[in-house]
Structure 1
Amino acid sequence: MVTVKSVKVDGESIHIFNSALYIFESSMCYTLQLDVIVSEVVVNRYKAEEQLIIEVEMEDGRIMSSIMHLRTLPGGLPQLNLYCDIEDPEEYPGLHIVNESDSEFPDIETGITLEDIRKVEMPNEKITLKLTLPINQVEWLKNQKTRDLNTLFKELLEGHLG
């Protein structure tokens, strides 16, 4: 099976934790598939896109570029499923061909945890809190810059979460 060395999306390198590049054979067509485990940040960046320009560098030095469609898969680890129809699978030597009747597809999640992914790239998420505080504390909070409050709460929580 071909090993993926790096992936660029619209010219930008993304960090991949694991991947599978293969050909899916159905009764109607052949589809080139690239499944990649990425960070939640990467999924959020591209999840609204329908098509992306993908460049894949393989361990053997080959480079493949294609416009591919995007599917994001719910549940499990954050991943992108990229695919495009192809005419002739023989144009892609060394790629594993998976048939629609096969019971097993490449499992790229084995050995990777969400905690491992977040050590590389931790997503930020907005949160709104409703607090009841004395008026002087409310006034102080309102006078602070958002960036400073983010830093303050991050440090406070890191101290409590370890």
Structure 2
Amino acid sequence: MNFDKDTIVADTRDWLVKAVIGLNLCPFAKSVHVKNQVRYSVSDATTPGELLTDLVHELTLLRDADPEEIDTTLLVHPAVLQDFFDFNDFLDIVDAAVEELDLGGLIQVASFHPDYQFADAKSDDIENYSNRSPYPTLHLIREASLDRAVEAFPDAADIYETNKATLRKMGLEGWKKLWQV
């Protein structure tokens, strides 16, 4: 796997544009993307402990940043937690870090992984692709931004079901075509 940071950011941005925004998997993503308010941080971590250090740094940076400059952060970590179940277990540590920094209610973390699997899904279910990214990624999101987005998008509770329907309609072949150059 190529760990060139420029390539990793380009791959992640491509995924954001083609899948997250292009398929409208997250109707809130487009506005922060077009305003260049998404921070892409590529971690050099090779252990969960190193990743935790990077996470704490990024949480603090996002907390202290002007939301007009950085509204959300994608912390991409290509060299650690490649196994989805290890990644999923790490999310408890992520939640604990958010609480330890007194950021509960201010910042939440969403998770994306190349092998993402919802608890009620089989590994090959197309619905999992709504959270499949090119590399393991932690998405740090300001709660205030989410609140504003939900106000502007009254059907926010339906996003998950809409995503499932979109992905089922396109199927795995459609997903693969999305990435053909």
TM-score by length of 2: 0.23
Q: Radius of gyration: which is bigger?
A: 1
Query: Which structure has the highest helix share of the two?
Result: 2
Query: Which structure has the highest strand share of the two?
Result: 1
